[in-house]
Amino acid sequence: MAPLIHVRDLTRDYRLIKKREGVAGGFVDLLRPRYRDLRAVDSVCFDIEAGEMVGYIGANGAGKSTTIKMLTGILTPTSGKVSVGGLVPWRDRLQYTRHIGVVFGQRTQLWWDLAVIESFRLLRKIYEVPENIYAEQMKVFDDLLGVGEFLHQPVRKLSLGQRMRCDLAAALLHRPRILFLDEPTIGLDVVAKESVRGFLREIRDLQGVTVILTTHDLGDIEQLCRRVIIIDKGEVHFDGELEDLRTRLGRRVRLTVDLREAVTADDLRKVTADLPVTWRDREGKNHVAEFRRAEVSGAEVIRQVVNDCQVSDLHLAEVDIEEIVRDIYRAAGKEKA
Ligand SMILES: Nc1ncnc2c1ncn2[C@@H]1O[C@H](COP(=O)(O)OP(=O)(O)OP(=O)(O)O)[C@@H](O)[C@H]1O
Ligand SMILES: [Mg+2]
């Protein structure tokens, strides 16, 4: 069976004006602008099956939002192919919007001056949602997101967290098969983030919605997505399971030690000379080492350190996915440089 979302060689250029110098140059720019093209998304390919929750991540300006805009039909690509459930988003837009929900965390899709409930009623009309489905969805949103509390407030009076919850509800009102989320937790505090994540998990389990999610918060990814696609300068750099990403890069572990006496990193390098351990260049009582679990066990490293040094405290932690992804961005940048 064909995948629900099929993307091939998706490319999008933006035309930018090449600025000339100075005031005179500004005038010339107005009369005879010179252009250059910026490739924001470059030959992106992936397939997504129904029911998947995929994290689409990358640094600022990597091309995430541009991709989402093409997948939702807001932008037409420069070239390439997208088929979602047999529809082409930018061509079959009217029919397509019935099957998808979209949240752009950076700005609301709701009517600023209307009470939340009015926005929902309008959306119900626009999407022709049957009364019984509308009632069921509203109950789910109240149970899981607590939107009942502020239904009669105008959107402009809501806190960011309340507004985001309403945007999520609005996007799902017509019970779409696919939900596109562009930074749905941006600016939220820890509690509000947890509530959004919990809601997304529930809605996936309850209604089997397929989700593509962009975020800079890797906590979102760790809690929601088994699969991640990493994009850098418009190109896909990794597409696979989050767990795979971890093992591919080796489960890195970081050991922090506090010693009773100041030493140099070189002293510690001698202590663990026969082990594959990297000590950071530091002097003093606090030191940090990194190693891969596959190459050496934490117990072994600790044993050597404790044998040869006066340790007052130590802490072993896995290097989190955020750092791993940062390393990938950096490596990708270097390759191109
Ligand atoms: N409307 C536009 N006109 C010109 N250039 C644009 C436009 N929108 C985006 N770009 C450029 O395209 C590139 C990709 O932008 P995009 O918004 O897709 O990145 P992003 O991955 O969503 O970044 P962020 O994490 O900051 O949201 C950037 O270099 C950006 O400056
Ligand atoms: Mg963006």
Q: Compute the average pLDDT of residues 199-217.
A: 93
> Is the Cβ–Cβ distance between 258 and 314 less than 8 Å?
yes
Tokens of 91: 């061509």
* pLDDT single digits (tens) 71-81: 999 999 999 99
Percent of all residues in the chain with a pLDDT value above 90, rounded to a whole number: 74
- What pTM was computed for the model? 0.84
Output the residue whose Cα is nearest ligand 1's atom 16.
63
Output the residue whose Cα is nearest ligand 1's atom 18.
63
Indicate whether residue 225 lines ligand 1 (CB < 6 A).
Answer: no
Q: Compute the average pLDDT of residues 208-237.
A: 92
36: helix, strand or coil: strand
pLDDT band at 337 (very low <50, low <70, confident <90, very high): very low
Decide if pLDDT at 69 tops 80.
yes
In the chain the domains, ranked by start, together with CATH numbers, are: 5-246 (3.40.50.300), 249-336 (3.30.70.980)
Output the residue whose Cα is nearest ligand 1's atom 28.
61
d(CA 115, CA 134): 17
Output the residue whose Cα is nearest ligand 1's atom 26.
60
Sequence-ordered strand ranges (E) for the chain: 5-18, 34-48, 53-57, 79-84, 100-104, 178-182, 210-214, 227-232, 235-241, 252-264, 278-279, 283-292, 311-318
Ligand 1 centre from 120 Cα, in Å? 30
Which of 222, 204, 98, 188 shows the shortest CA–CA distance to 144?
A: 204
Indicate whether residue 276 lines ligand 1 (CB < 6 A).
Answer: no
Main-chain phi, psi angles of 238, to 5 degrees: -155, 140
Tokens of 287: 């030191």
Ligand 2 centre from 106 Cα, in Å? 9
Which of 12, 34, 55 shows the shortest CA–CA distance to 241?
A: 55
Does the CA dihedral 248-40-164-173 come out positive or negative?
A: negative
